[in-house]
Amino acid sequence: SSGENAAAKLENLVGRTPGPLKTPLGPIRSYAEVSRTEWAFVAFSLIGLVISIGITSERLATLPKGTDDYSFAIMLFWSNIACIWHLGIGVAQQLAFDIIVFIVSAVFLEIYLIVNLASTHEANLLPSLIYVRFGFATFFFLGMVAFSGLGILPSYCKQPTWFVFRLNAARAKQRMIRTFCSSLSLIVLDVQLQVSMIILVMDTGVYLSTFDICVIVTGAITLSVWVWAGIMARNKESTCWLVVFGILLLPNVAYIIFRMQEIARETPRESWSILRHIIIACGSLALLTR
């Protein structure tokens, strides 16, 4: 009917089609519709991510809490969680975009892992054990990138989103379904970058100034409202929520620019730590997504 919003339209399409499962995130494939190759890819990738999370957790437990390396380890932990999301939703909805983001995130995770292990703060009494675990993580990360880039991604790119033609052959409906699913992926990618920027405020570990605490709290609240506005605009096709979503982009952009210029202004380039280089790189990528 004309009063239906995007979520209701898609739910009605899915409800008339055997196979897809209805979820708050949109339709996903049933267990039986995921191929053995895809299940092998998911299992292989999860092993690599679990190893990475284990190494990062050990760093969080042993690094001095007042260092930028500790903040970097927190960001690494968050990046692992975001990778799991892109892996899961990418396979569940057969979205090439999420698999691409997963590949890029996996490459950056490997770089982050190398940088974090090369920290000047020695945090483990058995460094050989760290490097053994790092070797396993590297093996799985390289396998993940090769598996997804050579096996999974090409098959996803050769055809439209898996349920598009099964649900409706009309081109307008196909575009609506693609936009509905991809928009959430873009929001999650932006959240991944924004949370990383909020974490990177902690350049002295957990020992924060009053100003840093205010920035983190304000940033977290603004980000939460922004995400909710984006989801509501997506599901309800609401112009009002879309306006709120657009307005809340402005403080995000302002904060990113402020943080980057603050780092460049207050710290001589020759004394920049790895964390400061990551802030500039992450901030630049976040601005590009705008």
Q: Could you say which of 132, 159, 186 is where a domain stops?
A: 159
- Render pLDDT for 170-217 as a digit per residue (tens, 0 to 9): 667 667 766 777 777 778 888 888 787 777 666 666 677 787 788 778
Residue 267 and residue 273: Cα distance in Å, rounded? 10
> How many domains does the chain fold into?
2
Pick 160 or 266 by higher pLDDT: 266
Q: What is the mean pLDDT of residues 240-249?
A: 87
90's CB contacts (< 8 A; 6+ apart) are 96, 97, 98, 99, 101, 102, 156
Give the predicted TM-score (pTM) of the model: 0.75
Q: Tens digits of per-residue pLDDT, 267-290?
A: 555 545 666 667 777 777 777 766
Residues in the chain: 290
Per-residue model confidence (pLDDT) at position 67: 73
Asked whether residue 38 is domain-assigned, the answer is yes
Identify whether 20 is part of a domain: no
- Does 115 map to a domain? yes
Q: What percent of the chain has pLDDT over 90?
A: 2
Residue 248 lies in a domain: yes
- CATH for 63: 1.20.120.230
Residue-wise pLDDT for 38-97, tens only, equals: 899 999 889 888 888 888 888 888 877 777 778 778 888 888 898 898 898 888 888 888
Residue 47: give the domain boundaries: 34-159
Domain identity same for 68 and 155: yes
- Domain boundary (159, 182, 201) is at 159
Do 147 and 220 lie in one domain? The reply is no
